[in-house]
Structure 1
Amino acid sequence: MSTRWYPIYQKGGPQLRVFLPNFWMKLVRPTERQPPNIVQFSCSMEMTRYDIRNYLEKIYNVKTVDIRTRIALGKTRRDHKKGNIIKDDDIKYAYVTLPKGEEFTFPDVFPKRDEEKQEYENSLKQSKEGFRDYLDKNKNRPGMPGWFTI
């Protein structure tokens, strides 16, 4: 069963079509600590382990040793306004084992740079020095507002 609508066939010249896969997979950061050669994906509910293997090997050229799947039940909660019970969609997770010797580390999308830290610390240090100068300049003038300085 296809979830996409493809253009209807028409007579005439070459048919320009792009056939996309009917499935999707999303890389997920695991909540539990796992060996470095196991990767966790969230995938569509219709995918089987054979579909996952073909998807990874044909599209991304990733060799797999073993694939295990599980279905996580969606949370149930009560709607505060109407009092109805709402159930979130179930999620299918796939645990893909890579060949021995290959490792996967989750990419660090937003790395903290040392330059940014240094720049932040320098600006903080300058503002502290400016405040100390202000206090030193006005310590002999009690009760006088700071803006009243020449």
Structure 2
Amino acid sequence: MSTRWYPIYQRGNPQLRVFLPNFWLKLVRPEHEQPPNVVQFACSMEMTKYDVKNYLEKIYNVPVVEVRTRIAMGKTKRDLVHGYITKNEDTKMAYVTLPKDMKFEFPNMFQDEAKKKEEDDKKSLEETKKNYKKFLDKNKHRPGTPGWFTI
């Protein structure tokens, strides 16, 4: 049942109501290492494990073996100026176990950026090595002089 308000249907008039569920699922990257066939979701607090299973099987055609749920408490923090305590909303986490032969892996969406960063790191490391070698060669004939004292 939806909490959205639509005009009341009267016989003979066109249908104006659309019933949308209040259920939602959000795929979450797990904090701790999970087996390859376990997927973690954040879901609405009203959903039960049976609702999660039916949601995935009927809408997305995903075979589900088992669903475990837990409620993660929201973080609490104290306002430094006024001193009152605020708390974030609690969330329900659903751990969905897929069949043994299925495996879920998060896609690497930013491969190009990772490769570019790695290449930049290699270049800067090589440049640093070269500069350090130059620094050592320049001060090679001045024993006893501190490293920070250079010409």
Structure-to-structure mapping, 1:72-111, within 5 angstroms: 72-111=72-111
Deviates more, 1:14-23 or 1:63-72: 14-23
- Any residues of structure 2 matched to 1:1-150 within 5 Å, and which? 2-112=2-112, 117=116
Aligned length: 122
Preserved contact between residue 77 and residue 85 of structure 1 (Cα < 8 Å): yes
Distance 1:65 1:5 in 2: 37
User: Does the CA contact (< 8 Å) of 2:2 and 2:20 recur in 1?
Assistant: no
Q: Is the 8 A contact 2:6 2:16 kept in 1?
A: no
**1:108-149: CA deviations, max 9, x gaps?**
2322268x739x86xx8xxx9xxxxxxxxxxxxxxxxxxxxx
Identical columns (%):
65
Q: Normalised by the size of structure 2, how large is the TM-score?
A: 0.70
Aligned CA RMSD, in angstroms, stands at: 2.5
Instruction: Look up the SS of the partner of 1:74 in the other structure.
Output: coil
**TM-superposed deviation, 1:14:** 2.9
Alpha-carbon distance, 1:46 to partner = 0.5
CA deviations on 1:20-55 (whole Å, 9 max, x unpaired) are: 221011000011111110000000001000110111
Counterparts of 1:85 and 1:48, CA distance in 2:
30
Q: TM-score, normalised by structure 1?
A: 0.70
SS in 2 for 1:59: helix
Conserved? CA contact 1:4–1:22, under 8 Å? no
1:79/1:10 CA distance change after superposition, 3 Å: farther
Q: Could you say what secondary structure the match of 2:111 adopts?
A: coil
Q: Quick one: which amino acid aligns to residue 97 of structure 2?
A: T
Whole-Å Cα distance in 1 between the matches of residues 102 and 19 of structure 2? 31
1:132 alignment partner in structure 2: none
Point out where structure 1 has 5 or more consecutive residues left out of the alignment: 129-150
Partner Cα separation in structure 1 for residue 90 and residue 113 of structure 2: 38
